[in-house]
Amino acid sequence: MLCDACRKNDSSVHLTQIINNNIHELDLCEQCANEMGLKGLLLSLAVMPDLIKNIKDKKDTAKDVKCKSCGISYREFKVSGHLGCSNCYVSFREHLVPLLKGIHGNIEHMGKVPLRLNRKLRARSQVLSMQKQMQQAIEKEEYEKAAEIRDKIKAIEKGENP
């Protein structure tokens, strides 16, 4: 079957979207899928069922755990791969942490930060580090060095480059 986007290559990706009981299907070649930004999505979709099927509980007690908000059980999550609500993360935390580490390598978001916010975060991190240095200088009774660090902190907080 030919790719619905380029009409040149054979399709290797089949997407089905259901919206309000209307089925929309799209057949794409690998190149068009990559150009549409679906490469990462396709990789995660391909890996997700296997990871969910391979969840190994230390004990079978996880099967009886239910979310207090939506009522979905951990067993239902394992079958469907979908959590019922945001509180499921709290209810199933003990079992989701190893799963998320396996998928993403970490449980904290390490994504991109908008440039404007990134500058502020870097400045704040720098100020915190300098405050520690200033405290250490004070403890060592190096008051001139502490004063220099204090002045640099004030310059950073005003938006100047020290």
Q: Map out the domains of the chain as residue ranges.
A: 1-37, 49-111, 115-157
Weakest-pLDDT range from 36-40, 77-81, 108-112: 36-40
What's the CA angle centered on 127, arms 111 and 117, to 5 degrees? Answer: 35
Answer with the residue of higher pLDDT: 8 or 61: 8
Q: What is the pLDDT of residues 23-32, one digit of tens each?
A: 777 787 888 7
- How many angstroms separate the Cα of 73 from the Cα of each of 11, 33, 66, 78, 89? 38, 35, 4, 9, 12
pLDDT computed for residue 162 by the predictor: 55
Q: Are 63 and 57 in contact (CB under 8 A)?
A: yes
Element (H, E) at 29: none
Whether the pLDDT of residue 136 is over 90: the answer is yes
Closest CA to 49 of 103, 94, 90: 103
Answer with the residue of higher pLDDT: 131 or 12: 131
Beta bridge partners, 18, equal 23
Q: Is 39 helix (H, G, I), strand (E, B) or coil?
A: helix
What is the DSSP secondary-structure string of 84-136?
Answer: SSTTHHHHTHHHHHHHHHHHHS-SS------HHHHHHHHHHHHHHHHHHHHHH
